[in-house]
Amino acid sequence: MQYSAYFVEENDGVFSASISKLELKKPADGFVQIKVSHSSLNYKDALSASGNKGVTRNYPFVPGIDAAGIIADGNSSKFNEGDEVIVTGYDMGMNTPGGFGEYINVPVGWVVKKPSSLSSLEAMSIGTAGLTAAASVLKIYESSKESDLPVLVSGATGGVGSIGVMLMSKLGKEVSALTGKPSSVEFLKSIGAANVIMRDEYLEAPSKPMERPLFSCAIDTVGGNVLSKMLPQISPHGVVACCGNVAGIEVNTTVFPFILRGISLCGIDSAESAIDFKNSIWNKFADEWRLDLSSMIKIVTKENLQQEIDLILKGGQQGRVVLTHGE
């Protein structure tokens, strides 16, 4: 049996993608086979699709770090054929063929049952980006001191940032959204931002080792000079949840915000989180953290996926892109 996939190949160091028919293999012991109905586009997927060997070592390959669908095959006491399930992160879409194909074979331990109140489309509107945003929010609530100052969310139009804005707003926080896109101001206000800060203006303002506290805490999705800038602006005992590096991997700071205000800089890696933690977050999204993401998703097929990959690599993504393997 064959299945269709967005398939990336390497020839003499040049990477190209096509919609290809691949042979479907039986799942190995300890694995299940999932018929994928939906996936989503994340920055890591775009890196894999463009030949970044820091993400994917060997090609040819099928990207896609997120997948939702039904169990099609495999010996498992945990799942039955036809169960609706979700897989996000771990090695899928990195070195294990991922959700940009109509079928995946993955270890049982990577799989969670989809909450019945969420559709597969809704689950992939959330995806790894939503899990990362949720993990950031949980870390902030777990460790931050209460403050009336707003929450700062950087990279606010991206997948993680936009869901972070929505979640914090839903939880009653005043959100300041940081973006480099003047055209996205209305979008950000529509999803819950009380204030929108332009990135260039923010970075141009003089910086000091310690500044007047402007934010209670922050979700930083970009790293680099943006993260460096916000650390001295966090109020006492606030938390900065760090989960991205598109603006750079280096952080220029002093110890002052940490030893004089007791702030915390916490790394977020939802992809490798324990499966029970992921399951608990999915249950939150199905219940008290339920979000209406319909206004911020774009549904695409494999045939028009490449243009979305090009867009996200240029920093042009707004909201979430969901891939459907519809009939």
Q: Where are the domains of the chain?
A: 2-114+293-324, 129-270
Q: Where does the pLDDT of residue 168 fall: very low under 50, low under 70, confident under 90, or very high at 90 and above? A: very high
CA-to-CA distance for 154 and 231, rounded, in angstroms? 12
Q: Where does the pLDDT of residue 74 fall: very low under 50, low under 70, confident under 90, or very high at 90 and above? A: confident
Q: What is the pLDDT of residue 327?
A: 59
CA-to-CA distance for 139 and 151, rounded, in angstroms? 13
CA-to-CA distance for 5 and 76, rounded, in angstroms? 25
Nearest to 251 by CA among 269, 265, 272: 265
CA-to-CA distance for 258 and 264, rounded, in angstroms? 7
Q: Model confidence over 108-151: pLDDT tens digits?
A: 999 999 999 999 999 999 999 999 999 999 999 988 778 899 99
Q: Model confidence over 182-232: pLDDT tens digits?
A: 999 999 999 999 999 999 999 999 889 999 999 999 999 999 999 999 999
- The percentage of the chain sitting over the pLDDT mark of 90, rounded to a whole number, equals 91
Q: In 10 A of CB 9, how many CB atoms?
A: 14
Fold of the domain built from segment(s) 129-270? Rossmann fold (3.40.50)
Mean pLDDT for all residues in the chain: 95
User: Facing residues of 267 across strands?
Assistant: 242
Q: What is the pLDDT of residue 75?
A: 79
pTM of the model: 0.94
Q: What's 238-271 look like in SS3?
A: CEEEECCCCCECCCCCCCHHHHHCCCEEEECCHH
Decide yes or no: CATH 1.10.10.10 for domain 2-114+293-324.
no
Half-sphere exposure (Cβ direction) of 271: Cα atoms closer than 13 Å: 17
